[in-house]
Amino acid sequence: MPLISVVQQLAFARDLPRIQQIVRTAARNLTGADGATFVLRDRDQCFYADEDAISPLWKGLRFSLQRCISGWCMLNRQAVVVPDIYVDPRIPIEAYRPTFVKSLVMVPIRSLDPIGAIGNYWSSYHEATDEEVRTLQALADATAVAMENVRVYGELEQRVRERTSELEAARAAAQRALEIADQANRAKSRFLATASHDLRQPLQSLSLLNGSLRRMLRDPTATEAAAEALAQQELAVNAASRLVNTLLDISKLESGAIRPEITEFTLAEPFSELRREFASAAASKGLALRVEPCAAQVRSDPALLGQILRNLVANAIKYTRQGSVTLRCEPAPGSVRVHVEDTGVGIAREHLPHIFEEFYQVGRAHSGAREGFGLGLSIVERVVKLLGVTLEVSSEPGQGSAFSLELPLSTTPSAQVASVQIPDRSDAHAAACGRRVLLVEDDQGVREATRLLLESLGFQVASAASPEEAIRQARTRGAPDLIISDYHLDCEQTGLEVIAELRNMFGPTLKAILVSGDTSPAIKGLVPDPRMRLAAKPVQAEQLLALMAELMDSESLA
């Protein structure tokens, strides 16, 4: 049985007994051993959980970590080869005499902090080869991933059971299985939407506070050091926002929920963003990060393209010990090729066809520490397929690697491709003067950060923590010029309901901005409203002010 087939079986295992069944058989078959054991660490003991052998070994028994070879393997975090058990002082001979074992090899499950071990045994003298040890260790590494997947899957299953327990009790036995599956899917969607919202709330507050502080630093007495600290804070907030969005997008990618949103844009902005994001990481390793200017106009999904390039640049920096990492573009007939090149360790020719497979890793860093499970390039390949573009790779050991992505050129004339303009901020206070904003947000941190930002520009802000309070504020103060409301409010209420109620009071022309960290189809499926804008959390101060300016037909406030 090929190792890759075993890894695939482990990837779909959903409980520990299934993992044990796969591993005990594979461990023996892959090396031609006469027996194999699956050992789990239980505090200070080794539990021989399962075995596949020509005669019984120790299944179901426990031994002290200090008194058995599997314990030595786990405590020392390394494989051990014993050609003759009767001459190795680490072997408890009395425990082995009743068995057929004459030679063995033992490898740890999870090298950094072992949670178990896999052992192979022979009935005659046999010194395990390096290839056999590597094969068995690869199986152990895949086993560690499978056990972690089972743990995560179990937690998710528990949450699903808790959320669907009331419905399970009310349904007839004949329909129970179908209804549980349906509720499980909906519970998972609610969980992802809630996680998205909760993760983005503190980032929303930080982003708005950062915008307020930046405006306060226009004071000529502000120090250069404070301005620099604020700039670094902004970079950190942006990086954290991208990380949260990427993690949530990966979950949606796995479930098939992501659909490309194709637009036309220039590569200059994503290139500049990648330079800012990875400059520090490259400098910390003494690497030169070269991002060459690129004004090519392409047709693609900018967020998904950014995810591809971010993974490729991060991978290049990780596996380059000296030299440089380069991001550049070059024209091609009807397209543009984007290259990510490094002077790193490189990849041997026989490994190239496999680097996009799940859990496949060519090598490890010098430290020997495991840096992930080899999913980064697998995600890149899925996003590439989703976009329908071409990705090529070339590499030589010791000479570095080059990844080339071919993107279709924009079909819109250059003069008509919109570019991001940085507006003049000098008249922001004048544009805001006299404008009344009703702010509806149940999260106190976000509410206060937004209020502080708007008031610093001269807006008159009435803030409310609930729909009821928003209605009372409106009745007391009169019609606002603009409503800014969070989508998810307390007691299952939504910002859409608040906006509808206020429009009933003051007329349908009342303008509004709906802010949400929700990624569910309910948000993306909202009916377009020319007097309302949708902003995805975490929204930066400049983005929020630009939407306000657009709706109120005023000068840009960004």
Higher pLDDT, 352 or 337: 337
Are 103 and 93 in contact by the 8 Å Cβ rule? The answer is no
Question: Confidence band (pLDDT; 50, 70, 90) for 428?
Answer: very low
Domain 263-416: give its CATH code.
3.30.565.10
How high is the pLDDT of residue 64? Answer: 93
Q: Over pLDDT 90: what percentage of the chain?
A: 42
How high is the pLDDT of residue 554? Answer: 46
Nearest C-alpha neighbor of 278 from the set 242, 310, 320: 310
DSSP label of 410: P
Sign of CA dihedral 318, 322, 328, 330: negative
Burial 171-196 (b: 16+ CB within 10 A, else e): eeeeeeeeebeebbeebbbeebbebb
- Candidates 3.30.450.40, 3.60.15.10, 2.170.190.11, 3.90.76.10; CATH matching 3-152: 3.30.450.40
How high is the pLDDT of residue 373? Answer: 39
pTM for this model (two decimals): 0.39
CATH 2.40.30.10 corresponds to the domain 190-258+423-558 = no
CA 107 to chain CA mean position, Å: 30
How high is the pLDDT of residue 243? Answer: 58
Rounded to whole angstroms, the Cα distance separating 231 from 225 reads: 10
For 120-135, write each residue's pLDDT tens digit: 999 999 999 999 999 9
Residue 427 has pLDDT above 70, yes or no: no
Partners of residue 39 on adjacent β-strands? 48, 117
Residue 424 has pLDDT above 60, yes or no: no
Residue 442 has pLDDT above 50, yes or no: yes
List, as one string, the DSSP characters of 14-56. -SHHHHHHHHHHHHHHHHT-SEEEEEEEETTEEEEEEEEESS-
The domain ranges of the chain are: 3-152, 190-258+423-558, 263-416
How high is the pLDDT of residue 543? Answer: 81
Residue 311 has pLDDT above 90, yes or no: no
Rounded to whole angstroms, the Cα distance separating 355 from 335 reads: 26
For 157-197, write each residue's pLDDT tens digit: 888 888 888 777 777 777 777 777 666 565 555 555 555 55
Q: Which residue has the tokens 């007994």?
A: 17
Give me the mean pLDDT over the 431-453 stretch.
82
Nearest C-alpha neighbor of 409 from the set 477, 357, 459, 337: 337
Higher pLDDT, 17 or 184: 17
How high is the pLDDT of residue 493? Answer: 85
How high is the pLDDT of residue 438? Answer: 94
Residue 555 has pLDDT above 60, yes or no: no
How high is the pLDDT of residue 105? Answer: 96
Name the least confident of 314-318, 442-446, 518-522: 518-522
Q: Over pLDDT 70: what percentage of the chain?
A: 75
How high is the pLDDT of residue 484? Answer: 93
Residue 297 has pLDDT above 80, yes or no: yes
> How many Cα atoms sit within 13 Å of 269 on the Cβ side?
14
How high is the pLDDT of residue 137? Answer: 92
How high is the pLDDT of residue 375? Answer: 52
Give me the mean pLDDT over the 545-550 stretch.
85
Name the least confident of 56-60, 142-146, 194-198, 533-537: 194-198
Name the least confident of 137-151, 159-173, 229-243: 229-243
Rounded to whole angstroms, the Cα distance separating 65 from 41 reads: 8
How high is the pLDDT of residue 171? Answer: 74
User: To the nearest whole number, what is the mean pLDDT of the chain?
Assistant: 81
How high is the pLDDT of residue 194? Answer: 54
Residue 509 has pLDDT above 50, yes or no: yes
